[in-house]
C-alpha cells in the first residue's frame, strides 16, 4: 500500500488549469523529486498534496498509515520570515502545534520531540538563538526541524536550497538524504537537476504536453532526459 | 508633583481613566505584535476609521451607550475586510476605500443630523479622543474591563497557535490548523480592541496604540515571547505616563500618549543600534 496515490489529477485555480493527467504514487521510504519548468504546476501540486488547494478533478489517496495533515512541510521562505523576531526553539516547537489539539500549552513530551528534531538537523546548539540572525542554511535546517516535529513519516520540501550557497546547499541535501535513509519519505520540488538525479529514487517531471513518472534510472533513459537539450 | 498626582487620583474619573487606559493599551500592544508581523497593520488603521463612521451612526441614533452600535459594526467590517482581502493589493485597496468612505459618511451624517451645536468639537473629540477617556460612564468602564480580561485570556490560551499562524500560515494550514478561523478570531479581536481604544486615543490615533509598542519592542528583543512581553510593558507604561502627563499639563490625552510612544520608540531604536554594534 502506497502512502500517497494520485490518480489523473487536473490542477489549477478556479477556471485556469495549470496541469493535467498527473498520476503517481509514493511508497514509504521513497525519495521523489518533482521537476519541471516554471509554471508547470509544481507549486500547485504541492498545495494539492497539502490540502490547501484541492485538485479540479482526479483523486489523492492517503494510505499506509499516513493521514492527510501528516505531511511535514518545508515551504519556500517568505521575506517576512527572514526578519521575524523568534528564537529557534519557538519556531521548532510551533511544528507541534497541531498535535496538541485544544490544549493551550506544550507538554514536556512535545519539548522533547522538538529537541530531538533539532538534534537530527544539527541545530540544537542554536536553540536559544534568534532566528533572523542565522545564516540561510541554518534557517532552512530550523524550518526542516519544525517539519519533523509535525511528522517524520513524510516530508515535502519546496525548493529547499533556493538562495543557499553551494556549500550550505550540499549540507542540506546530505541531511535530507540522511533523513530519507532513516525511513522518512521525501518529496522534493527542485530546480536543481543534478541534485535531483543524484539523490532521488523517483522522478515526477511535470510539463504542459507530457508528464513523466518513474524511477530515476528510468528517467535517465527516457526521451524526456535524453532530449532535454531543447528544453534548457 | 507626586502630591499633585495623588490629589488627582482622589477623583474617580481619573482612576477610571487610568484603569481603562492601562487595560486597553495592554490588550492593544499584545495584539500589535501579531498584526505588525502578519503585515496586518493597515487593517487596524482601516478599522479605526470604520469605527468613526459607526460612532457617527450611534450619535445620530442617539443610543444611550455608543458601544452597542459601534462594536458590532466594527466587528462586521473586520470580518468583511479579511474575507474580501485575499489578494494583498486588492485587500489594501478595499481597506483604503472602506476607511475613507467611513470617515466621509460619518462626518456627513454628523452634519446632516447634528446632535449638538458644536459639531466640530464633537468630531475632533471622536477623531483625537481629546477628553473621552476622562468622561467615561460606569457602564463604559465595566465594558472595557470585562472585554479586556476576555481578550487577555483568549490571547494566553491561543498564544502558541497565534505564534504558529503569525510565523507561517501555509505551514500551519498544511498541518491541519484552521487558519481561516484563527484569522477571523484575530480580526474580531482587533475590532474589539480598536473600539475600546477609541475612548483613549480617538479613531485617528488608535492604531498608534497597537503598532508603536510592538515596533519598539522589536528594535531590542529577538524572541517572540520577549517581544510580546516587552510590547505589553511599553504599551502600559506609555499610556499611564501619557494620561498622567496630559492631566498635569492639560494636553489632549490621545496625542500625549502617542507622543510618549514616539519618544519610547526612538529610545528603543537607539538601544537596538547600540546592542547591534556591541
Weakest-pLDDT range from A87-96, B45-54, B68-77, B90-99: B90-99
Instruction: Tell the residue number behind the cell numbers 526521451, with chain if given.
Output: A223
Per DSSP, A94 falls in state: G
- Interface A-B, measured as beta-carbon pairs within 8 A, has a size of 87
User: With 0-12 CB in 10 A as exposed, 13-18 as middle and 19+ as buried, what is B137?
Assistant: exposed
Residues 93-132 of A with CB under 8 A from B: 93-95, 97-98, 100, 104-106, 130, 132
Chain A residues within an 8 Å CB radius of B160: 93-94, 97, 100, 104-106
Asked if B161's CB is within 8 angstroms of A85's CB, the reply is: no
Distance (Å) from the alpha carbon of A67 to chain B's nearest alpha carbon: 11
Whether A169 contacts A199, CB under 8 Å: no
Q: How far, in Å, CA of B110 to CA of B108, rounded?
A: 5
Q: DSSP letter string over A96-162?
A: GTTTTTT-SS--HHHHHHHHHHHHHTT-GGGTTSBGGGS-HHHHHHHHHHHHHHH-SSEEEEESTTT
Q: What is the pLDDT of residue A228?
A: 67
Compute the distance between CA of residue B158 and CA of residue B168 in angstroms, rounded to an integer: 15
Q: Is the pLDDT of residue B221 over 50?
A: yes
Adjacency order of strands within the sheet including A212-215? A71-74, A154-158, A185-189, A31-35, A202-205, A212-215
In the numeric block, the cell 478561523 is attached to B181
DSSP code at position A42: H
Closest Cα to residue A96, out of A85, A82, A111, A83? Answer: A111
Helices B12-37, B224-249: axis angle to 10 degrees equals 150
> What cell does B277 get?
554594534
> How many angstroms away from the CA of A231 is the closest CA of chain B?
32
Determine the Cα–Cα distance for residues B24 and B207; give it in Å rounded to an integer: 12
Residue B84: the pLDDT is 65
Cβ atoms of B225 and B274 within 8 Å: the answer is: no
Q: Tell whether the model's pLDDT for residue B9 goes beyond 80.
A: yes
> Alpha-carbon distance B257 to B122, whole Å?
20
**For the segment B144-164, what is each residue's pLDDT rounded down to a tens digit?**
899 999 999 999 999 999 999
The DSSP call for residue A168 is H
Q: Show me where the domains of chain B are located.
A: 2-272
Q: Is A80 on the interface with B (CB under 8 A)?
A: yes
- Nearest 5 degrees, angle CA B181-CA B178-CA A128? 110
CB contact under 8 A, A98 and B175: yes
Q: In chain A, which residues have their Cβ closer than 8 Å to the Cβ of B213?
A: none
Please tell me the total number of residues recorded for chain A in this structure.
232
Quick one: pLDDT at residue A144? 93
Q: Do B160 and A91 touch (CB under 8 A)?
A: no
Give the mutation candidate from A97, A113, A133 for the B interface (greatest B CB count, under 10 A).
A97
Q: Which chain A residues are Cβ-neighbours of B223 within 8 angstroms?
A: 85-87, 90, 130
| Chain A contact for B218 (CB, 8 A cutoff) | yes
Chain A: closest CA distance from residue B114 (Å): 46
Instruction: Give the mean model confidence (pLDDT) for residues B220-248.
Output: 94
**Percent of chain B whose predicted confidence (pLDDT) is above 70:** 96
Neighbours of B189 (CB within 10 A): 24
**Do B171 and A98 count as a contact with CB atoms less than 8 A apart?**
no
- Contact: A91, B221; criterion CB under 8 Å: no
| Residue B85 confidence class, pLDDT cut points 50, 70, 90 | low
Contact A98 B177 (CB under 8 A): yes
Q: Are A87 and A129 in contact (CB under 8 A)?
A: yes
In angstroms, the separation between the Cα of residue A66 and the nearest Cα of chain B is: 13
- CATH homologous superfamily of B2-272 equals ABC transporter involved in vitamin B12 uptake, BtuC (1.10.3470.10)
pTM over 0.90: no
> Which of B167, B214, B272 should be substituted to probe chain A, the one whose Cβ sees the most A Cβ atoms within 10 Å?
B167
Least confidently predicted of A81-85, A210-214, B90-94, B224-228: B90-94
Contacts of B158 in chain A (CB under 8 A): 104
CA distance A89 to A102: 21
Looking at residue A208, what is its pLDDT? 74
A165/chain B closest Cα distance in angstroms: 24
The pairing of beta strand A154-158 with beta strand A185-189: parallel
DSSP A52: S
Which CATH number describes the domain made up of A1-70+156-162+190-232?
3.40.50.300
User: Does B237 have pLDDT greater than 80?
Assistant: yes
**A68-82, B10-24, B43-57, B236-250: lowest mean pLDDT where?**
A68-82
**Residue A185: what pLDDT?**
93
pLDDT score for B120: 80
Block means of pLDDT (10 residues each) for chain A, 232 residues, are: 88 82 91 88 89 88 82 85 90 86 85 92 92 91 92 89 89 92 92 88 86 87 72 46
How far apart are alpha carbons A207 and A103 in whole angstroms?
A: 44
On whether any CB of chain A is under 8 Å from the CB of B8, the answer is no
Chain-chain contact of B224 with A86 (C-beta, under 8 angstroms): yes
Helical packing angle, B224-249 and B253-277, nearest 10°: 140
Residue of A nearest to B154 (CA): A104
- Concatenated DSSP letters for chain B? -HHHHHHHHTSHHHHHHHHHHHHHHHHHHHHHHHHHHTT-HHHHHHHHHHHHHHHHHHHHHT-S-THHHHHHHHHHHHHHHHHH--SHHHHHHHHHHHHHHHHHHHHHHHHHS-SSS-HHHHHHHHHH-TTGGGG--HHHHHHHHHHHHHHHHHHHHTHHHHHHHHH-HHHHHHTT--HHHHHHHHHHHHHHHHHHHHHHHHHHHHHHHHHHHHHHHHHH--SHHHHHHHHHHHHHHHHHHHHHHHHHHT--HHHHHHHHHHHHHHHHHHHHHHHHH-
What is the predicted pLDDT for the residue at A232? Answer: 45
B224 and A73 within 8 Å at the Cβ level: the answer is no
**Partner-chain residue, chosen from B159, B171, B224, that has the shortest CB–CB distance to A85:** B224
Q: How far apart are CA B50 and CA B75, in angstroms?
A: 10
Chain A residues in contact with B167 by the CB 8 A cut-off are 81, 84, 86, 91, 94
Contact A98 B156 (CB under 8 A): no
Amino acid at each position: 500500500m502506497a502512502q500517497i496515490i494520485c490518480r489523473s489529477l487536473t490542477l489549477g485555480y478556479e477556471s485556469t488549469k495549470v496541469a493535467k493527467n498527473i498520476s503517481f504514487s509514493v511508497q514509504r521510504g521513497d525519495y521523489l523529486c518533482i521537476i519541471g519548468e516554471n509554471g508547470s504546476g509544481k507549486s500547485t501540486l504541492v498545495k494539492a498534496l497539502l490540502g490547501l488547494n484541492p485538485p479540479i478533478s482526479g483523486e489523492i489517496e492517503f494510505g499506509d498509515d499516513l493521514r492527510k495533515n501528516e505531511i511535514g512541510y518545508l515551504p519556500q521562505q517568505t521575506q517576512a520570515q527572514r526578519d521575524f523576531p523568534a528564537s529557534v526553539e519557538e519556531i521548532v516547537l510551533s511544528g507541534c502545534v497541531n498535535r496538541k489539539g485544544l490544549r493551550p500549552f506544550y507538554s514536556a513530551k512535545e519539548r522533547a520531540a522538538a529537541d530531538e528534531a533539532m538534534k537530527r538537523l544539527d541545530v540544537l546548539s542554536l536553540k536559544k538563538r534568534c532566528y533572523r540572525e542565522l545564516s540561510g542554511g541554518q534557517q532552512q535546517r530550523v524550518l526542516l526541524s519544525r517539519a519533523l516535529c509535525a511528522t517524520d513519516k513524510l516530508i515535502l520540501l519546496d525548493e529547499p536550497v533556493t538562495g543557499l550557497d553551494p556549500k550550505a546547499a550540499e549540507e542540506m541535501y546530505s541531511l535530507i538524504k540522511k533523513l530519507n535513509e532513516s525511513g522518512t519519505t521525501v518529496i522534493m520540488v527542485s530546480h536543481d537537476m543534478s541534485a535531483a538525479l543524484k539523490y532521488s529514487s523517483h522522478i515526477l517531471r511535470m510539463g504542459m504536453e507530457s508528464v513523466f513518472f518513474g524511477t530515476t534510472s528510468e528517467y535517465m533513459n527516457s526521451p524526456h532526459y535524453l532530449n532535454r537539450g531543447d528544453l534548457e | 508633583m507626586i502630591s499633585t498626582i495623588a490629589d488627582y487620583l482622589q477623583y474617580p474619573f481619573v482612576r477610571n481613566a487610568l484603569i481603562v487606559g492601562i487595560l486597553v493599551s495592554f490588550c492593544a500592544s499584545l495584539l500589535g505584535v501579531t498584526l505588525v508581523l502578519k503585515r496586518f497593520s493597515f487593517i487596524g488603521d482601516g478599522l479605526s476609521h470604520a469605527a468613526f463612521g459607526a460612532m457617527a451612526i450611534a450619535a445620530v441614533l442617539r443610543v444611550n451607550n455608543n458601544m452597542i452600535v459601534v462594536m458590532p459594526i466594527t466587528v462586521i467590517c473586520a470580518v468583511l475586510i479579511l474575507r474580501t482581502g485575499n489578494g494583498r493589493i486588492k485587500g489594501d485597496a478595499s481597506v483604503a476605500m472602506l476607511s475613507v468612505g467611513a470617515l466621509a459618511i460619518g462626518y456627513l451624517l454628523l452634519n446632516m443630523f447634528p446632535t449638538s451645536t458644536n459639531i466640530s468639537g464633537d468630531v475632533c473629540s471622536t477623531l483625537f479622543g481629546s477628553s473621552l477617556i476622562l468622561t467615561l460612564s460606569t457602564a463604559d468602564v465595566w465594558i472595557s474591563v470585562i472585554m479586556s480580561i476576555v481578550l487577555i485570556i483568549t490571547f494566553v490560551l491561543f498564544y502558541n497557535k497565534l505564534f504558529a499562524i503569525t510565523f507561517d500560515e501555509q505551514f500551519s494550514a498544511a498541518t491541519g490548523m484552521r487558519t481561516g478561523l484563527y484569522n477571523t478570531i484575530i480580526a474580531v479581536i482587533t475590532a474589539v480592541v480598536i473600539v475600546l481604544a477609541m475612548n483613549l486615543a480617538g479613531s485617528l490615533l488608535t492604531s498608534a496604540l497597537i503598532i508603536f509598542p510592538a515596533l519598539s519592542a522589536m528594535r531590542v528583543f529577538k524572541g517572540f515571547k520577549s517581544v510580546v512581553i516587552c510590547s505589553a510593558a511599553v504599551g502600559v507604561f506609555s499610556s499611564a505616563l501619557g494620561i498622567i502627563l496630559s492631566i498635569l499639563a492639560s494636553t489632549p490625552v490621545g496625542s500625549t500618549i502617542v507622543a510618549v510612544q514616539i519618544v519610547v520608540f526612538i529610545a528603543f531604536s537607539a538601544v537596538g543600534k547600540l546592542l547591534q554594534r556591541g
